[in-house]
């Protein structure tokens, strides 16, 4: 099987080559550009494409891939919001994903982001390097004893709740239309609330852990922000489109938030996973977010651990081998129709 591997970085190549070693059944063609309508032709001659979170697998791109002989779309991530699944099915393209690789990686990063915001690690680091050892402006707050709200409790959300509840002694509440069984929630130190509004009103800190779906897009918006406590800490390590950026900026300007942590951004595809240090950022909303003293932005790095990359490579290769052999693959993604 010939695979066109889009959005290639050195760490992708290293992790996949380490897992498949000298295997001859699958051959990867590593391509640095992201997949879109202009680059889709680079997949010609291959059986499948392997794509990541910011690759474009919308309808027009899928039509080009189909025309070039592609049969399979292999996502090396859990989220599928960048793929038109229904269109893929109509074209006879099979889509597979990596539903779980290392929930601990993202959960630990989310907790680390909460710690950074609540204890101002990032500010202290730069201040001390400049020879300034004053503590003024670095006053923080405990996580212990606070109420932390989780929006979404899949594997990552559950893991985050466990760390915060059992590790830090926080009161962890959660909202999810499809809650975990009671015994699972109890094991992770999580108590469910019936309505999102209750979580927003009670939480001192909020961490988002839900997929990006039509029903969850802009779940954080002007209305929901208005229902949060003043001085709340908000963290998003899931998908950028879960937050309405305009509403977030408005809330920041009105001093609604003590701090905001974002590992994702709804228009991140133009900048994330790229070096723009010698360019002027043309996205005015991103530039505005970066200007706030109480906003901490990282470049979609929560997943980025040795263990997670290894797990992604293993599952992706297993998916592709199952497809190549005509076997049933447990990680096929289907549309809701």
Active-site positions read 239, 268, 300
- Report DSSP letters for 243-285, one per residue: B-HHHHHHHHHTT-EEEEEES--TTGGGTTTS--TTS----HH
Q: Which residues pair with 192 in a beta bridge?
A: 174
Is residue 216 within 8 Å of 191, Cβ to Cβ? no
What Rg value do the Cα atoms of the chain yield, rounded?
21
With left for phi above 0 and alpha for psi between -120 and 50, is residue 246 left, alpha or beta?
A: alpha
Residues in contact with 206: Cβ distance below 8 Å, sequence separation at least 6, in sequence order:
148, 149, 150, 151, 199, 200, 228, 232, 233, 234, 235
Residues in contact with 130: Cβ distance below 8 Å, sequence separation at least 6, in sequence order:
none
- What DSSP character marks residue 220? B
């Amino acid at each position: 099987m010939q695979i066109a591997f889009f959005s290639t970085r050195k760490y992708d190549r290293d992790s996949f080559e380490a897992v498949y070693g000298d295997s001859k059944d699958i051959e990867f063609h590593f391509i640095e550009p992201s997949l879109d309508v202009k680059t889709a032709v680079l997949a010609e001659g291959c059986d499948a494409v392997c794509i990541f979170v910011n690759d474009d697998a919308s309808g027009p791109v899928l039509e080009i891939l189909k025309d070039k002989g592609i049969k399979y779309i292999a996502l090396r991530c859990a989220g599928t919001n960048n793929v038109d699944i229904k269109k893929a099915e109509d074209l006879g393209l099979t889509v597979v994903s990596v539903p779980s690789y290392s929930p601990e990686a993202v959960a630990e990063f989310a907790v680390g982001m909460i710690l950074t915001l609540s204890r101002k690690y990032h500010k202290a680091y730069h201040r001390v390097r400049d020879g300034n050892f004053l503590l003024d402006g670095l006053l923080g707050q405990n996580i212990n004893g606070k109420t932390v709200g989780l929006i979404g409790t899949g594997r990552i959300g559950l893991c985050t709740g466990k760390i915060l509840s059992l590790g830090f002694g926080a009161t962890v509440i959660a909202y999810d239309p499809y809650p975990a069984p009671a015994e699972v929630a109890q094991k992770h130190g999580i108590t469910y609330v019936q309505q999102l509004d209750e979580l927003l009103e009670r939480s001192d800190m909020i961490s988002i852990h839900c997929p990006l779906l039509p029903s969850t897009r802009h779940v954080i918006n002007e209305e929901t922000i208005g229902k949060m406590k003043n001085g709340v800490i908000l963290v998003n390590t899931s998908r950028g489109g879960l937050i309405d950026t305009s509403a977030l900026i408005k809330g920041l300007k009105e001093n609604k938030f003590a701090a905001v942590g974002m590992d994702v951004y709804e228009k991140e595809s133009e900048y994330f996973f790229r070096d723009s240090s010698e360019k002027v950022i043309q996205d005015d909303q991103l530039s505005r977010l970066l200007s706030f003293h109480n906003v901490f932005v990282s470049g979609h790095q929560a997943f980025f651990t040795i263990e997670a990359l290894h797990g992604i490579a293993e599952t992706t290769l297993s998916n592709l081998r199952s497809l190549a052999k005509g076997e049933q693959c447990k990680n096929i993604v289907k549309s809701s129709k």
